Amino acid sequence: MKIDMQSLHRLLLTVQKPARYTGGELYECVKDEKDVTVRFAFCFPDIYDIAMSCLGYRILYGAINSVDRFWCERVMQPWDDFEQALTQNKIPLYSLESKTPLCDFDIIAFTLQYEMCYTTALNMLRLGGVPLFSRERKGLHNLVIAGGPCACNPEPLCDFIDLFCIGEGESQLVELCELYEKAKNEGWDKHAFLVAATKITGIYAPALYRAEYNEDGTLRSFEPVEEGVPRRVTKRIEQDLDSMYFPEKQIVPYIDVVHDRVTIELFRGCIRGCRFCQAGMLNRPLRYKSVDTLVRQADTLLEATGHDQLSLCSLSSSDYPEIECLADRLLALTEPKKIHLSMPSLRVDNFPKELAEKITRVKKSTFTFAPEAGSQRLRDVINKNVTAQDIDRGCKMAFENGNTSVKLYFMTGLPTETDEDICAIAELSAHVVDLFFSTDKSKRSRRVSITSSASIFVPKPFTPFQWEAQDTPARSLEKQALLRERFSGVRAGIATHEPYMSEMEAVLARGDRRLGAVLYELAKEHDKLSAWDEFFDRERWERAFEKAGVDRDFYAHRKREFSELLPWDFIDVGVTKAFLQREAERAAKGVTTKNCREGCAGCGASLLLEKGKCHG
C-alpha cells in the first residue's frame, strides 16, 4: 500500500508538532528496499516525545540496522489530533523513515515500558491495519512481537502477541531476524517458525503453552503443548557491556523531547535490594561498562549530535565503583564546551560531597532523592537502607552547594504501612525545609523549592512484594487526604497519583491471559495513552472489566499465598522464587538485607553469567 504523500503533507499542516510525524532527522536510517530481506517496524506505544527519550529504543534501533539486510523503522502512537486526521482521511499508521504502512512490515515489534501502554499497542495495530489477534494472522507476514520490562509477565497480552522477547535484546533481536529471514526464504509456516524461535534464549511463544485454572480462579497448571518447547523460558542477558552494541550516532529530533540530551548507560543491575523495585531484580546480575568505554561513547555522541547535556543512566549512578574517576574524565570533555553533566538516580546515602560540587559547576540542577517512606521503620520493611542521617547529609550537601530545588519521592500503600507512616512523609518534608534554613546563609541561595510526590505502591512480579495486596482506591484516597492535611502547614509541595490508574496498573502487572478479554473491550473503544491523565477514562476501564466478566479485586487487592502458582513462574529471570520469599518474610519482620557489595544474599542471578561474581 502506498500513502498519498500530498494528502499527508496537507494533514501535517493542521496538527500540533507535525515534526513528530515527518521523520528525516539527522542520523535516521534509510535503506534501499531492494537490498533488504526483513522489514522491521519498531513500535513505541506512546508519543514521539517519549519514544525519542528512551535509550533502549535508540540502542535496539541501531542494533538491528547495523545488519545491512535488516531495516528497522520507527512507529509511534500519534497524538489525538493526528490520529483523527489519519482516520478521517483513511491513511494508515506508517513508519517515519519510509512512510510505509504498518501492515506492510514483516515484523512488528513493541517495547512495553509500562503496563498502561498495552491498549495503545493494540490501538496502533488497529490504526496500521493489522489484525489484533494472533490467531487471525495466519502466515509469517505481520509477525507481532513484544519485549521490554513488562514482558516479564507477558500473559495479559497473549491473545495478541506472537512472540515475547524476555530480557535484553541487542543480540536476541538480530538472531530472531536471522531466523525469520531463513523461514521466509524456505517457506516455513507460522507454527514451525514459532517452535524454532523458542530455541533462541529468552523467546516465549504463548500459543505453544496452555494454562488451566482452579475453581477459585487461581492458576492450576501451565505447560507447553508440544515436544521440544522449553518448560521454562530463561531471560536473555548481554554478558559483556563493553563489547555490546552501542550506537555511535543517535537520531537528533527536530523538536524538544522529554530527555533532549546524550545519555550513556553506566551499568545494568543494582547492588541494592529494595523490595518493591522490579527493575532492581529484573536487571540483575550486575555488569559494568569500563570508564574508558563510557568516556569514548560520551565523546563520540556529543561530537555527533551537538547536545548541550550529558546524562549518566543507571538505577543508582553513585553505585558505579569508579564514579569520581569517571566524573573527572567526563568533566574534562564537557566543561570546556559548557555541556551540563547530569547524574540522576543518585543515592542519598553514598555520593561524595566533592562529586556534588563537580557536577554542578556548569549548571545547578534539581537534586532528587527517594526515601520512599517517611519513617525509618517502613524504610527497613522495604529494605531501602537509608537513614534520617543519610537524608540530612544529602540535602545539606545540596543546599550548601547552592542548589535551590530538591525533589523527594515517596510511596503510599507499602506493606505494613500505618497512618503514622503517612504522617511521617509530611514530617520528613518539613524537616528538609528546616535543613535549608539552618544552612549557612553564605553557602545557600535565598530561596528554595521542596517538592514531595507520593505515588501509589503497585505490587510487581519478581519482587519480594509480588504476593502482597494493593490498597483499594478508596483506601488510597483516604491516605492522600490525610497526607494533604498534614502538608497544610509545610513549606513544601505535595503531588499524588490517580488511585484508579494505579489499580489498573496493578491488575495488568500481575494478570493472566484471561485479561485479554478486557483489553479487547478497551481496543473496541479505541482506548489509548491511558498513562496520560487527559486520556485515562476510568468509566471506560470499569465498563471493559464488567463486559469481560473479570474481577479487578482478584488481581489487584488479593494477597497471594507463597504456595500459589503465579502466571509468570515459568520465566527464569535469574532471581529465584525462594530468595524472593525469604525477602518477603524478612520484610514482615522489618529486617533489612545487606547490599551485594557487603555480602551476597544468594538471589541466584549470578548463575546467569558464564563467569564472574554478580557484584562485579
Q: How much of the chain exceeds pLDDT 70, in percent?
A: 97
Q: What is the CATH number of domain 262-497+574-588?
A: 3.80.30.20
CA angle 45, 175, 606 (to 5 degrees): 85
224 in Cβ contact with 231 (< 8 Å) = yes
Has residue 611 got a pLDDT over 50? no
Residue type, 146: A
User: What is the distance between the alpha carbons of residues 399 and 437, in angstroms, rounded to a whole number?
Assistant: 9
Measure the CA–CA gap between 425 and 486, rounded to whole angstroms: 9
Q: Examine the pLDDT at 447 and tell me if it is beyond 90.
A: no
Could you tell me if 488 and 445 are in contact, meaning their C-beta atoms sit under 8 angstroms apart? no
Instruction: Report residue 499 CA to chain centroid gap.
Output: 20
* SS percent in the chain: helix, strand, coil, step 5: 40, 15, 45
Average pLDDT over residues 363-373: 80
**Which of 12, 73, 81, 80 minimizes the C-alpha distance to 44?**
73
Mean pLDDT value across residues 466-473: 98
CA-to-CA dists, residue 507 to 116, 205, 459, 542, angstroms: 10, 22, 9, 12
Q: Which amino acid is at 445?
A: S
Alpha-carbon distance of 379 to 408, in angstroms, equals: 14
Distance in angstroms (rounded) separating the CA atoms of residues 460 and 233: 19
Q: Is 217 left (phi over 0), alpha (psi -120 to 50) or beta?
A: left
C-beta separation of 317 from 359 below 8 A? no
CATH topology match: 5-234 vs 262-497+574-588 = no
CA dist., res. 306 & res. 342, Å (int):
16
Peptide bond into 321 cis (omega under 30): no
Domain residue spans in the chain?
5-234, 262-497+574-588
How confident is the model over 102-107, as a mean pLDDT?
98
For 281, the grid coordinates are 531484580
What one-character DSSP code corresponds to residue 104? G
Distance of CA 318 to the CA centre of its chain: 20
Q: What is the pLDDT of residue 361?
A: 63
Task: Please give the Cα distance from 220 to 566 (Å, whole number).
Answer: 9
Confidence at 363, pLDDT banded by 50, 70, 90: low
d(CA 147, CA 137): 19
Residues 36-53 have a mean pLDDT of 98
Closest CA to 233 of 262, 274, 203, 255: 203
- Per residue in 189-231, pLDDT (tens digit) is 999 999 999 999 999 999 999 999 999 999 999 999 999 999 9
- State yes or no: pLDDT of 347 exceeds 80: no
Q: Report the pLDDT value the prediction gives residue 365, as an integer from 0 to 100.
A: 64
Residues 133 and 160 sit within 8 Å (Cβ to Cβ): yes
**Per-residue model confidence (pLDDT) at position 613:** 40
Q: Inform me whether the pLDDT recorded for 489 exceeds 70.
A: yes
pLDDT of amino acid 354: 72
| pLDDT digits 0-9 by tens, 121-136 | 999 999 999 999 999 9
C-alpha cell belonging to residue 533: 491523565
- Helix ranges restricted to H, 129-202: 172-186, 190-197
Question: Which residues 6+ apart lie within 8 Å of 288 measured at CB?
Answer: 241, 266, 267, 320, 321, 616
Residue 480, C-beta contacts closer than 8 angstroms, at least 6 positions apart:
412, 454, 496, 499
| Residue 515 DSSP symbol | G
Burial 159-170 (b: 16+ CB within 10 A, else e): bbbbbbbbbbbb
More confident residue, 166 or 317: 166
What does the DSSP 8-state code read for residue 297? H
pTM (predicted TM-score): 0.96
SS3 category, 76: strand
At 395 the pLDDT is 87
Q: Is the pLDDT of residue 104 over 80?
A: yes
Q: Is the pLDDT of residue 318 over 90?
A: no
Q: How many Å apart are CA 112 and CA 94, to the nearest integer? A: 19
SS3 381: helix
Whether 450 contacts 406, CB under 8 Å? yes
Residue 602's nearest CA partner among 590, 588, 586, 589 is 586
Kindly report the backbone phi and psi dihedral angles of residue 109, in degrees, each rounded to the nearest multiple of 5, phi listed first.
-115, 140
- The pLDDT value recorded for residue 612 is 39
Instruction: Find the mean pLDDT for residues 436-454.
Output: 85
Weakest mean pLDDT among 11-15, 131-135, 396-400, 490-494: 396-400
495/483 Cα distance (integer angstroms): 10
Strands 340-342 and 143-147, sheet pairing: unpaired
Q: What is the pLDDT of residue 4?
A: 87
Note the pLDDT of residue 616. Answer: 37
Mean pLDDT across the chain: 94
Contact (Cβ atoms closer than 8 angstroms) between residue 3 and residue 92: yes
For residue 434, pLDDT beyond 70: yes
Q: What is the CATH code of the structural domain delimited by 5-234?
A: 3.40.50.280
Q: What is the pLDDT of residues 57-79, one digit of tens each?
A: 999 999 999 999 999 999 999 99
